[in-house]
Amino acid sequence: VGLGYWGPNLARNFQTSADFDLVGLCDQDPRRVERAGAPYPSATQTTDIAELLEKATPDLVAIATPVASHVPLSKAALEFGAHVLCEKPIARSVREAEELLALARKQRLHLFVDHPFKYTGAVRVVQQLYATGALGNLFYIDSVRINLGLFQPDVDVTWDLAPHDLSILSYVLGGKNVTHVRATGSTHNPHGFIDVAYVDLEYKGGLTAHLHLSWLSPVKVRRMIFSGSRSSCIYDDVEASEKVRIYDHGVSFEVDDVEQRRQVLVSYRRGEMRAPAVDLREALAAELTQIAAHIRGAPSGASLGDEGLEIVRILAACETSLAKDGARVAL
Amino acid sequence: VGLGYWGPNLARNFQTSADFDLVGLCDQDPRRVERAGAPYPSATQTTDIAELLEKATPDLVAIATPVASHVPLSKAALEFGAHVLCEKPIARSVREAEELLALARKQRLHLFVDHPFKYTGAVRVVQQLYATGALGNLFYIDSVRINLGLFQPDVDVTWDLAPHDLSILSYVLGGKNVTHVRATGSTHNPHGFIDVAYVDLEYKGGLTAHLHLSWLSPVKVRRMIFSGSRSSCIYDDVEASEKVRIYDHGVSFEVDDVEQRRQVLVSYRRGEMRAPAVDLREALAAELTQIAAHIRGAPSGASLGDEGLEIVRILAACETSLAKDGARVAL
Amino acid sequence: VGLGYWGPNLARNFQTSADFDLVGLCDQDPRRVERAGAPYPSATQTTDIAELLEKATPDLVAIATPVASHVPLSKAALEFGAHVLCEKPIARSVREAEELLALARKQRLHLFVDHPFKYTGAVRVVQQLYATGALGNLFYIDSVRINLGLFQPDVDVTWDLAPHDLSILSYVLGGKNVTHVRATGSTHNPHGFIDVAYVDLEYKGGLTAHLHLSWLSPVKVRRMIFSGSRSSCIYDDVEASEKVRIYDHGVSFEVDDVEQRRQVLVSYRRGEMRAPAVDLREALAAELTQIAAHIRGAPSGASLGDEGLEIVRILAACETSLAKDGARVAL
Amino acid sequence: VGLGYWGPNLARNFQTSADFDLVGLCDQDPRRVERAGAPYPSATQTTDIAELLEKATPDLVAIATPVASHVPLSKAALEFGAHVLCEKPIARSVREAEELLALARKQRLHLFVDHPFKYTGAVRVVQQLYATGALGNLFYIDSVRINLGLFQPDVDVTWDLAPHDLSILSYVLGGKNVTHVRATGSTHNPHGFIDVAYVDLEYKGGLTAHLHLSWLSPVKVRRMIFSGSRSSCIYDDVEASEKVRIYDHGVSFEVDDVEQRRQVLVSYRRGEMRAPAVDLREALAAELTQIAAHIRGAPSGASLGDEGLEIVRILAACETSLAKDGARVAL
């Protein structure tokens, strides 16, 4: 359900998956249904979710619509008796997200959250670097996720872009909890949504992460710096061939010698850099395999509703901070 | 005075300037004096400022020492009767900076602030883009100035790195005033100085600038984004050949069509980019020419003590905000 | 026919085209047929071209197999009565290519040559720069097309990679004829095919182009320099956001002043660079539209067999030159 | 002698060297003498080599003039009784180079050839990679050395640019001999010198290197690919922070599986890349230390006249090949 940018990718991956059959497609806009549905003539094609459920009788419904409709569509699917795979963020408020989880529990169905970054080769490399101690203690994390002026119709830039950072960080940091947030932002468009925001996240144990989110950047940047005591790494998703770069120097706290200082000042980095080979295969296929395993009752790494709820909690806290002029807000 | 990283550049430019003679060099460390003084055998070479003033009787003293000594050395030079060219920041507190300006006025001498960026081709291009309206209204400015772990002995990362941003922004924005600041930071080194900081600057009229300052980055970044309503530009000082890139699209607030949305999502920018030729000549030579003109009484663009004082004011406000856990501080 | 790397792209584009229906898929390897055919359950799927023709009765057969089978498969399709869209090079020898063209003429069918670069935004920009005189007179063209060690099973590196350069240059230069070629190469693999080659092309009027072709490069490079008297441009197909860069300086033949010389030596370019927005939509869709128009008898830009023959002629001349130790060979 | 682009660097390094004193500077153009001499008031400054030798009585004369004057100036210095450090190429013909070597032998003086690349961190890394077997067998070398339209007044592009490649390759390959050359070129400027050339070098044992040399490129490129059987490396001298990149995959000669083929086709490299830390200190200082050691009779790595003669031999063979329309010429 939802055949804008992401939906057709979902459709293609369900179709080619060994675990799923693509039984139907749905979008409010009939032109999108027609265009996206062309390669799948045997799948039910409709503009109405009720008709989709009735005719296609799906076991799982994937929802890739604008944020505002995530909750009603997920509810419809769960009530019909289908598992749900929902885009992030799963709801616009903590209360709604909690209701959705409760409904899934009541129906004994799974509410999955679409979290494809977790299955990309690049993010897996970063996760391994952290988990194995190769980075040492993390000093801080800085993420820049800025865009080309693509405004969302129903949410501000934090709800649009931060979920990606939040889910990547949750995975890399092994589920470490965010304890406080702080957010500032500004609005420069006629729709009134915040289009530039800076978010500070404090994790349990003191680690901080800083996000620069923007719809007003002339270039697309997707770059996260993980600064660590043993080594540091940069994950740049826009890079074609070197998505993860690892810098093997720890930071030296003693640079007394003037000659060494000068060297440092004129050079652009120190120590060796290496860029491991990164698996570039599409993450969605691996995600669907995990989801299928989970439904069959096998242990899986699939992201469930509680992960989606946690992201909504953090986004809601950012909203509170934005409303209080950047105050530090506890979760 | 001060022959660490920057001092030898000053010495070389004074020597080759048509307006100045290099009459003496001074540093506490005799090895530095020897090394830096080798090409200038006829210049007085000493580890003592008093001896320098007495023997070399300079008309102008340039001070490129650690921040803590800027005030005592500048005072000594002014009291001797020499003009002063001082590195930024000129003092560690507003009160000291004001005293220095008062002393210069009393002595009827000039207190110049070293501001070489103003004379670089790249910053001049950005200034022209703003001044001529080519950028339109500025939406926001984002600057990343992050380093290789080069810790300063006597100041934190804001006093070390932010002066560059503050002086560039002051020049580009035509002296627009900072009205409020907000700063957060953290410390990960045994010396106790803040080594990662994020600073928000609010300018008169509502424009905001955000600075990411760090001594804990694996790579050196010097990148400022000026996001504007008519066009945007990126000034990347680490780039060898394209220091300023101008993106000629204004941001579109209407992207209704799904196909256009998809285009935007998969592309990395829109519209034409152009990178003008940038004058790469050394800025210091041009700066010394302006300083000489100013001393002779001609109109000049040389930066004077009041510019240096303004930077100290902003840095002191950042310090207050850091101490108050990121509170918004008015200037 | 042929479901290796390129075939599935063709299938998808035929399926989504408004002008074509995908009626069948064929490959010798049944696993490929199964994998590539999954999204198209209603299309005939077979490992036998005869069965494909009989069951699917196509109006047009697209051939994306290894080079050695282009001729027999094309003949089979033409004899059956279908138009053909064949990958480059269409044959391994001039004689075979000529026979194929003769057969198409005799059958009154079209033999199209797959030439998608012609429909990419980047190549169209370069073509316009040349055609409008913005580049002035071309001094020379240099192309680097080097790979990651992907050896072809049945042809050497010139037959594998040069067709792309030859077709791009033919389009950009408006069909200007190659009059002479010269090629040198070497072999470092056990299969005996040349895996590194350098090719010189001389065009009517004296323009020269030089190709570096390799399967032994550690990185993938796709970069063409068009050096002109009024401006120059670089087309880099690996670049995500700046595929075409235009340098607006003509070359200056007078650099007498030592200071200017020094400037040039230390800088990385002169004059302004601009990177126009380039249409990133898939070229194949546009190509199929042109092919459909051509079949309906409308004027079109579709590439026909004579273009394919010309490429085979040049490749054959390269083969002669390689056999004669780099001798200059006239076409 | 010769205070154009390179001479002032030599002067500065002699002045700061612990082994040398800068006793004099000379250039035909008095403005250059004045400008370059300003920091060295105690050094003899003249436009006449005879006056320089007489007044400054140097032990060593460094010659950084246009090529045509290398021989007469070197002879004057040797006949006066001074060692010579001459820029490459040391002469315009093999005969002249041999005469110069004979004169140095007769005078029992050293004729050094300026070869600073040998002392750069980047070239040393590449040399180590080859010497230790980390690259395995070299398949081939490709060098691109192209410029911004800086025409030399007295030599063509091969004599201007190829000496850098020839000396780097000689050092990296441990003195391996060039056995044959082949060169083609073209002329697009009113002075009549060849401004674009392609040179093939064959080394003893069969290794080949290919050079692209040009004064007509819109950008400056300095990039050498060393393609090896165990790993490959790229030395890019224009890169600020990653001058040497090592790609750790050997080339695989078996890519049978279609899925693997596809992976290779869409990716930009395979295996891990690493960029070692490279010493960025100025090479000239290290070179002067070696030269001083050599003069004192210690074993040194300084480049002597026979290296300079070998380069002239190869350039002369290129000239022959150019005159014979690209014929293969034996050395």
3-state SS record for chain D: CCCCCCHHHHHHHHHHCCCCCCCEEECCCHHHHHHHHCCCCCCEEECCHHHHHHHHCCCEEEECCCHHHHHHHHHHHHHHCCEEEECCCCCCCHHHHHHHHHHHHHHCCCEEECCHHHHCHHHHHHHHHHHCCCCCCEEEEEEEEECCCCCCCCCCHHHHHHHHHHHHHHHHCCCCCEEEEEEEEECCCCCCCCCEEEEEEEECCCCEEEEEEECCCCCCEEEEEEEECCCEEEEECCCCCCCEEEECCCCCCCCCCHHHHHHHHHCCCCCCEEECCCCCCCHHHHHHHHHHHHHCCCCCCCCEHHHHHHHHHHHHHHHHHHHCCCCCEEC
Ramachandran region, residue B176 (left: φ > 0; alpha: ψ -120 to 50; beta: rest): beta
A120-134, A314-328, C144-158: least confidently modelled range: C144-158
Whether residues B267 and C280 touch (CB distance < 8 A) is answered with yes
Whether residues D240 and B241 touch (CB distance < 8 A) is answered with no
Q: Is the pLDDT of residue C266 over 70?
A: no
Burial of A176 (0-12, 13-18, 19+ CB in 10 A): middle
Q: What is the pLDDT of residues B32-49, one digit of tens each?
A: 999 888 878 889 999 999
Distance from CA of B19 to the nearest CA of D (A): 13
Please identify among residues 227-246 of chain B the ones whose CB lies closer than 8 Å to any CB of chain A: 227, 229, 231-234, 238, 245
Whether residues A272 and D274 touch (CB distance < 8 A) is answered with yes
Bridge partners of D67, per DSSP, are none
Q: What is the arithmetic mean of pLDDT over A191-212?
A: 94
Residue in A9, A193, A214, A216 to test binding to B, most B beta-carbons within 10 Å? A216
Q: What is the pLDDT of residues C209-238, one digit of tens each?
A: 999 999 999 888 999 999 998 899 999 998
d(CA C305, CA C313): 12
Distance from CA of B276 to the nearest CA of C (A): 4
Q: Kindly provide the b/e burial profile for residues D92-108, where b requires at least 16 CB atoms within 10 angstroms of the residue's own CB.
A: bebebbeebbebbeebe
Whether residues A42 and C41 touch (CB distance < 8 A) is answered with yes
Closest CA to B304 of B119, B93, B21, B84: B84
Q: Kindly provide the b/e burial profile for residues D203-231, where b requires at least 16 CB atoms within 10 angstroms of the residue's own CB.
A: beeebbbbbbbbbbbbbbbbbbbbbbeeb
pLDDT band at D185 (very low <50, low <70, confident <90, very high): very high
d(CA C132, CA C152): 38
Please identify among residues 54-83 of chain B the ones whose CB lies closer than 8 Å to any CB of chain C: none
Chain B hits for C270, CB-CB cut-off 8 Å, are: 277
Chain B hits for C267, CB-CB cut-off 8 Å, are: 241, 280
Whether A280 has its CB under 8 Å from any CB of chain C: the answer is no
pLDDT at residue B191, rounded to an integer: 76
Q: What is the arithmetic mean of pLDDT over C304-312?
A: 95
Residue in D40, D217, D221, D239 to test binding to B, most B beta-carbons within 10 Å? D40
Q: Around Cβ B155, how many Cβ atoms within 10 Å?
A: 19
Q: What is the arithmetic mean of pLDDT over A208-217?
A: 95
B35-39, C127-131, C269-273, D240-244: least confidently modelled range: C269-273
Q: What is the pLDDT of residues A71-99, one digit of tens each?
A: 999 999 999 999 999 999 999 999 999 99
- Top pLDDT among B126 and A188 is at B126
Q: What is the pLDDT of residues C123-173, one digit of tens each?
A: 999 999 999 999 999 999 999 999 876 677 788 999 999 999 999 999 999
Whether residues B215 and A251 touch (CB distance < 8 A) is answered with yes
Q: Is the pLDDT of residue A262 over 70?
A: no
**List of chains touching D (3+ CB pairs within 8 A):** A, B, C
How many CB pairs below 8 Å do chains B and C form together? 41
Q: Is the pLDDT of residue C258 over 60?
A: no
Report percent pLDDT > 90 for chain A. Answer: 73
Question: If DSSP codes are grouped into helix, strand and coil, which group holds residue A317?
Answer: helix
Q: What value of ipTM does the predicted structure carry? A: 0.90
Which of A14-23, A276-285, C76-85, D283-292: highest mean pLDDT? C76-85
Q: Is the pLDDT of residue A298 over 70?
A: yes
Whether A264 has its CB under 8 Å from any CB of chain D: the answer is no
Q: Is the pLDDT of residue D153 over 80?
A: no
Closest CA to D159 of D177, D185, D140: D185
Closest CA to B39 of A76, D256, C289, D41: D41
Which member of A16, A39, A238 has the closest CB to residue C240? A238
| Residue with the two structure tokens 């250059």 | D32
The residue of chain A nearest to residue D265, with distances taken between CA atoms, is A280
Chain C hits for D188, CB-CB cut-off 8 Å, are: 139-140, 229
pLDDT band at A257 (very low <50, low <70, confident <90, very high): low
Chain B hits for A30, CB-CB cut-off 8 Å, are: none
pTM: 0.91
Q: Are C302 and C294 in contact (CB under 8 A)?
A: yes
pLDDT at residue C153, rounded to an integer: 73
Residue in C15, C31, C146, C222 to test binding to A, most A beta-carbons within 10 Å? C15
Chain B hits for A27, CB-CB cut-off 8 Å, are: none
d(CA D144, CA D167): 15
* DSSP 8-state class, residue B81: T
Closest CA to A129 of A173, A81, A167: A173
Whether D38 has its CB under 8 Å from any CB of chain C: the answer is no
pLDDT band at A42 (very low <50, low <70, confident <90, very high): confident
Whether B270 has its CB under 8 Å from any CB of chain C: the answer is yes
Q: What is the mean pLDDT of chain A?
A: 90
Per DSSP (E only), the strands in chain A are: 24-26, 44-46, 60-63, 83-86, 111-113, 138-146, 178-186, 196-203, 208-214, 221-228, 232-236, 244-247, 273-275, 329-330
Whether C268 has its CB under 8 Å from any CB of chain B: the answer is yes
pLDDT at residue B261, rounded to an integer: 54
pLDDT at residue C149, rounded to an integer: 66
Both structure tokens of C267: 């800088």
Mean pLDDT split into 10-residue runs, chain B, 331 residues: 91 89 95 87 93 97 94 97 96 97 97 91 96 94 88 86 95 93 91 92 95 92 94 92 84 53 53 87 89 93 92 97 94 93
Whether C6 has its CB under 8 Å from any CB of chain D: the answer is no
Whether residues A198 and B200 touch (CB distance < 8 A) is answered with yes
**List of chains touching C (3+ CB pairs within 8 A):** A, B, D
Q: Are D177 and D206 in contact (CB under 8 A)?
A: no
